[in-house]
Structure 1
Amino acid sequence: MQSGRISEHGFLADGRSAALVDRNGSVNWWCPERFDAPSVFGRLLDDDAGHWSIQPVGEFRVDRSYLDDSLVLRTVFTTPGGSVSVTDALALGPDERGHEIGRRSPGILARVVEGISGEVPMRLCYRPRFEYGRVTAYLVGRGDAVEATAGAARLRLCGDTPVSCGDGEATSRFTVRAGERVGFTLGYAPTYDGGPPATPDAAGVVANALAGWRSWAGLHDYQGRYRDQVRRSAMVVQGMTYQPSGAVVAAATTSLPEQLGGDRNYDYRFVWVRDFSLTLQALWRAACPDEANRQFAWVARAMGMIGDRPAPIMYGVQGERDLTEHRLDHLAGYAGSRPVLVGNDAWRQRQTDVLGEVLDAAWLMRHYLDPMVPEVRDLLRALANQAAEVWRLPDAGMWEARDADRHYLSSKVQCWTALDRAVRFGARIGDPADVARWAAARDEVRGAVLRRGWNEGLGAYTGAFDSAELDASVLLMPLVGFLPAGDERMRATMAVIQRRLCADGLVRRWDGDPAGFVICSFWLAGCLALAGEAGPATDLFERVAARTNDLGLFAEQIDPATGEQLGNFPQAFSHIGLINAAGHLTEAEEQPAPTGAGHREGARG
Structure 2
Amino acid sequence: MVPDLQIHPSWSPLADLALLSDRHSAALVGKDGTVSWLCFPRFDSPSQFAALLDPAAGHWSLCAVGCTAVSRHYWDDTFVLETVFQTRTGKLRVIDTMALGETKDPHRLGAVAPHVLLRSAECLDGSVEVEMRFQPRPDYGQVVPGIELTRGGALARNGNEQLLLTSPIPVVVQDGAVLASAQLRAGERANFALQWSRQGKTALSALPGTEIERHLETTAAAWREWSRVHQTYEGPYRDQVYLSGRLLHALSYQPTGAIIAAPTTSLPEEIGGERNWDYRYAWIRDASLTMRALWVAACPDEAADLFTFLAEAEASYEPGKHLQILFGVGGEWQISERILPHLAGWRGSRPVRIGNGAWSQSQLDLYGELIGAAHRLREQLGELAPPLRRFLVAVVDAAARHWREADHGIWEIRGTPQHFLHSKLMCWVAVHQGVDLAERLGAEHRVPDWSETALTLRRVIEREGWSRRAGAFTQSFGSTELDASALLMSRVGFLPPTDPRVLATIDAVANRLTDERGLVRRYLTTSGVDGLPGGEGAFLPCTFWLAEALAVVGRVRRAREVFELAAGHANDLGLLAEEADSATGELLGNFPQAFSHVALINAAWAISQAEERAETDRINSGAPMARRRARRPSGSRGG
- TM-score computed with the length of structure 1 as normaliser: 0.96
Please name the residue that 2:258 is paired with.
Answer: 247
Write out aligned runs for 1:78-477 (5 A).
78-95=86-103, 97-196=105-204, 199=207, 201-219=211-229, 220-308=231-319, 309-477=321-489
Report how far residue 303 of structure 1 moved: 1.0
Change (3 A) 1:91 1:589: same
Counterpart CA distance in 2 for 1:142 and 1:360 is 54
Report how far residue 135 of structure 1 moved: 0.5
Q: Which stretch shifts more, 485-494 or 270-279?
A: 485-494
The question of whether the paired residues in 2 share the 8 Å contact of 1:76 and 1:85 is answered with: yes
Counterpart CA distance in 1 for 2:316 and 2:440 is 18
Q: Deviations over 1:143-175 (max 9, x none)?
A: 222011012321011122111111200111111
What SS does the corresponding residue of 2:23 show, helix, strand or coil? coil
Amino acid in structure 2 at the alignment position of 1:188: W
Amino acid in structure 2 at the alignment position of 1:88: D
The question of whether the paired residues in 1 share the 8 Å contact of 2:393 and 2:443 is answered with: no
Report how far residue 82 of structure 1 moved: 1.2
Q: Which stretch shifts more, 184-193 or 403-412?
A: 184-193
The question of whether the paired residues in 2 share the 8 Å contact of 1:532 and 1:594 is answered with: no
Aligned residues: 599
Counterpart CA distance in 2 for 1:110 and 1:455 is 56
The question of whether the paired residues in 2 share the 8 Å contact of 1:188 and 1:198 is answered with: no
Change (3 A) 1:108 1:474: same
Q: Deviations over 1:370-405 (max 9, x none)?
A: 322112211210110001011100000010011111
What SS does the corresponding residue of 1:259 show, helix, strand or coil? coil
What SS does the corresponding residue of 1:479 show, helix, strand or coil? coil
Amino acid in structure 1 at the alignment position of 2:283: W
Please name the residue that 1:7 is paired with.
Answer: 15
What SS does the corresponding residue of 1:407 show, helix, strand or coil? coil
Amino acid in structure 1 at the alignment position of 2:542: C
Amino acid in structure 2 at the alignment position of 1:259: E
Counterpart CA distance in 1 for 2:205 and 2:363 is 42
Counterpart CA distance in 2 for 1:54 and 1:414 is 49
The question of whether the paired residues in 2 share the 8 Å contact of 1:245 and 1:318 is answered with: yes
What SS does the corresponding residue of 1:463 show, helix, strand or coil? coil
Please name the residue that 2:628 is paired with.
Answer: none
Q: Which stretch shifts more, 545-554 or 302-311?
A: 302-311
What SS does the corresponding residue of 1:121 show, helix, strand or coil? strand
Q: Deviations over 1:348-368 (max 9, x none)?
A: 000010100011111111112
The RMSD of aligned alpha carbons is 1.8
Change (3 A) 1:373 1:578: same
1:567 aligned to 2:567?
no
Amino acid in structure 1 at the alignment position of 2:506: M
Amino acid in structure 2 at the alignment position of 1:28: S
Counterpart CA distance in 2 for 1:276 and 1:94 is 30
The question of whether the paired residues in 2 share the 8 Å contact of 1:89 and 1:205 is answered with: no
1:510 aligned to 2:530?
no
Counterpart CA distance in 1 for 2:298 and 2:202 is 39
Counterpart CA distance in 1 for 2:146 and 2:326 is 38
What SS does the corresponding residue of 1:591 show, helix, strand or coil? helix
Report how far residue 95 of structure 1 moved: 3.9
Q: Deviations over 1:225-267 (max 9, x none)?
A: 2110000000010000000001100100011101010111111
Q: Deviations over 1:74-103 (max 9, x none)?
A: 001111111111000101112455111111
Change (3 A) 1:197 1:417: farther
Percent identity, please: 43
Write out aligned runs for 1:582-593 (5 A).
582-592=604-614
Please name the residue that 1:535 is paired with.
Answer: 557
The question of whether the paired residues in 2 share the 8 Å contact of 1:331 and 1:340 is answered with: yes
What SS does the corresponding residue of 2:49 show, helix, strand or coil? coil
Counterpart CA distance in 2 for 1:469 and 1:243 is 41
Change (3 A) 1:603 1:350: farther
Gaps of at least 5 residues in structure 1 are: 596-601
Change (3 A) 1:593 1:354: farther
- TM-score computed with the length of structure 2 as normaliser: 0.91
Q: Which stretch shifts more, 300-309 or 563-572?
A: 300-309
Counterpart CA distance in 2 for 1:580 and 1:184 is 39
Counterpart CA distance in 2 for 1:566 and 1:121 is 34
Report how far residue 198 of structure 1 moved: 6.7
Runs of 4+ in 1 over 4 A off after TM superposition: 602-605
Change (3 A) 1:468 1:603: farther
Please name the residue that 1:598 is paired with.
Answer: none
The question of whether the paired residues in 1 share the 8 Å contact of 2:577 and 2:589 is answered with: yes
Change (3 A) 1:276 1:197: farther
Please name the residue that 1:599 is paired with.
Answer: none
